[in-house]
Structure formats: C-alpha cells, structure tokens
Structure 1
C-alpha cells in the first residue's frame, strides 16, 4: 500500500528536483523542495564556507523531528555536537545549556529554524510532552532575529552581526 500511496502523490502533486547541487538527483514535492532550496541558497550566499550554522526546530522543550540534512545541503558545520534533535536529549536542561555555550562561543551568524508542525507534533508518549526547558529558545530569541522565511524554513540572523 505504501508504494501505491507514494505513486498517487507523484501523480497528483508536482515533484521537482532539488536545485542544491549536493542534493542531485533527489526529488521532492514542489512545496517542500522549493522553500528548502531557497533557504539553503540564502545560507550559502550569506555565510562563508566553513562557517558554522545551527539548525533548530520550532521549540526546544518538545521535539519530534529535526533537520540535520541542512548542514549537508548548505555545506556548513554544526557548532555543537548535537546533530539530531532527539527528545529527551535536546529537551533537557544540561544539553540546552551546552548548546547555548557552544553558540555563545562560536557566534554563528545564521540559525535555520525548521518551523514545521512536524518538529513538535504530539506523540502518545513522553517525547510528546513538553520538558518545560526553554533555555535554548530564550537564547535564540535574545540573540537572533528573523531575516527571511521560505515556507517552513526561517533563517535567523545574529543581532550582533548587524
């Protein structure tokens, strides 16, 4: 059935190739691929190669999905050791304090926020409940501002870099 569903989507929704060279020949629904390509292009145009960026979901107190692929597509390193937004890890106070310290030390000019409902979707388990820890969210709000939005992708710029 899964193959039938995928084929139905291919026939009914426009599918395009990602424009980012490293992603060739990956194809996705146009409403996913186009904003993703735009966000990656913005990052590549507004941060030097080798300069870190940070990728974060909608909220740090509850997370069910992340987007570490952005690091690969943009060709930019992660300034932290946490590539995956795992519930129980990213949502904990010690890890958020460590990430904030890494961000304060490396001062990335850009943060990419995946503002999709997927990133904090309710789950019928502990991962679907808020940890109450918003240390990382508060740091980002204090030090970054929205520069551009492409669909669910929001690129934040350092307030210090202006």
Structure 2
C-alpha cells in the first residue's frame, strides 16, 4: 500500500518534524509512506472573500497536480465525516483489499481546501470541529494512520 499526505506549506517546528519522523519510520513496516509539500500562497490578515477564494484555488491547483487518477483521496475538512480510530482502520483495510492501494490524504492551508480539491476527493474526513494548526495536523494524521495499521494487526498499541 502507498500512502501519501499532501500538505500546504513547509513544516518549521523541530518537535513536529521529530514526531512525524518517528511515525514515518514505524509506518515503513506496513506501507510506502511520504509527505508531499506544496507551496502556500501569501495571505495577509485582511482578505476579501474573492481573495480568499483565489488563494484556495491557487493552492488547490498545486495540490491537484500531485494527485494521480488512480489515487483514493481523503480531504481533511471540518465538515467531513468523523470516524473512530477503529472505523478508520477498517476503512483502510477494506480499501486495500478492494484494489485501492494508493491512498492520499490532503491537508489544506490556513484557509482550507478549494472546492475543486473537495470535489476530487473520494471522501472527506474530519478530526472534529476543533481548528488545529495544519502543521500539527500532519503529526496527528500520521499517528492515526499508524494507529490504523496497529489496530489491523491486533497490536495492544491502540489501548
């Protein structure tokens, strides 16, 4: 199985990089895992609705350029479907079983994801109604993907 996370912007915080590196190493036993960064657009504090849409569309084009047709895409979105860790584990296992071996998760920039990215997604997933920094979300998502594999192999890690 190939799992990719596409993210907007660069990761700067050392502690987040270390956490992601640890889970990436652990995931190597189960899948090919990588994180792909696309450039973020400069977005001043005060943007009109049209300017916000333009920023999201520009970032969205960069994201879509990194997605192949065969990839099953999860868009992270506050209004997406919430899943338990067990439900996510089952879903990933089912996708692998039924021919979806290339999974891509997309984390948008500070303004979220464009409509075109949301339309391309096969499903949307929410980690709740909290707003989290997208850099921190990388770590949370990477850990949850690892947790899914651990659940599927019956490891006590999940408890």
TM-score normalised over the length of structure 2: 0.30
Say which structure is richer in strand: 2
Structure with more contact order per residue of length (Cα contacts < 8 Å, sep ≥ 6): 2
Bigger Rg, which one: 1
TM-score normalised over the length of structure 1: 0.30
